[in-house]
């Protein structure tokens, strides 16, 4: 089984971007963590990041076309604005896990609403980049992938 791990705008700057909030791990480090976690559950992974909303929509559509088993997504700022990403996730009919590095509920009120949560089976926020590993574990359980 293959899962998609998708990342929205500005996450390419992890490690440099507001380290007090987002930590010192880079997106490359996050990719390695996700790859290791997928391996534990015998899952193949497609890992992507884009700063462009429409490109994320295309990646999400691709997950359906390629018969992926599920999606872990940190939509970043598009979480709070994008009906297009919500619609794309909905049309895949795949289990979706939404993950945020920070606890968005503790931050500005414009970060409290998520379009993506309308379709997400599970939501993680505030676990730092470790949340990606937790999200993959949760998704693995949903799709019946057992730890090796
Ligand atoms: C984020 C939270 C969003 O509000 C923000 O726009 C991001 C990152 C997080 O991972 O904590 O870019 O999704």
Cβ of 103 less than 6 Å from ligand 1 = no
Q: What is the mean pLDDT of residues 132-143?
A: 98
For 41, the 3-state DSSP assignment is coil
Section 125-146 average pLDDT:
98
For the chain, the domain total comes to 1
74 annotated as ligand-binding: yes
Q: Which ligand 1 atom lies nearest to the CA of residue 21? A: 11
In a domain? residue 44: yes
pLDDT by residue (tens digit) across 52-99? Answer: 999 999 999 999 999 999 999 999 999 999 999 999 999 999 999 999
Q: Is residue 47 part of a domain?
A: yes
Q: Which atom of ligand 1 is nearest to the CA of 8?
A: 12
Give the residue numbers spanning the domain of 17: 2-142
Cα gap 51→98, rounded to integer Å: 17
Average pLDDT, integer, range 15-23: 95
User: Which pLDDT value is given to residue 103?
Assistant: 98
| Assembly ipTM | 0.99
Residue 113 annotated among the catalytic residues of the structure:
no
Would you say 7 and 109 are in contact if contact means Cβ atoms under 8 Å apart? no
Catalytic residue among 4, 100, 115, 132: 100
Report if residue 148 sits inside a domain.
no
CATH number of the domain within which 64 lies: 3.40.50.9100
25 within some domain: yes
Residue 80 domain-assigned (yes or no): yes
- Read off the pLDDT of residues 104-117 as tens digits, 9 standing for 90 and up: 999 999 999 999 99
DSSP 57-107: HHHHHHHHHTT-SEEEEE-GGGGGT-HHHHHHHHHHT--EEEEESS-GGGS
Ligand 1 pocket test, pick from 78, 100, 120 with the greatest ligand atom count within 8 Å of Cβ, gives: 100
Q: Tell which atom from ligand 1 comes closest to the C-alpha of 103.
A: 11
pLDDT on residue 70: 98
Q: Is 114 in the pocket of ligand 1 (CB under 6 A)?
A: no
Residue 147, in any domain of the structure? no
């Amino acid at each position: 089984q293959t899962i998609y791990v998708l990342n929205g705008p500005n996450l390419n700057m992890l490690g440099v971007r507001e380290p007090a909030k987002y930590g010192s791990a880079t997106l490359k480090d996050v990719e390695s963590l996700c790859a290791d976690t997928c391996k534990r559950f015998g899952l193949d992974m497609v890992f992507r990041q884009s700063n462009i909303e429409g490109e994320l929509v295309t990646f999400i559509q691709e997950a359906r076309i390629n018969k992926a088993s599920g999606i872990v997504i940190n939509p970043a700022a598009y979480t709070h604005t994008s009906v297009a990403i919500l619609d794309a996730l909905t049309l895949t009919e795949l289990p979706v896990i939404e993950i945020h590095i920070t606890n968005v509920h503790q931050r500005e009120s414009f970060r409290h609403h998520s379009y993506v949560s309308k379709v997400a089976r599970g939501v993680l926020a505030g676990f730092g980049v470790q949340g990606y590993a937790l999200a993959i574990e949760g998704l693995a359980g949903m799709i019946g992938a057992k730890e090796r």
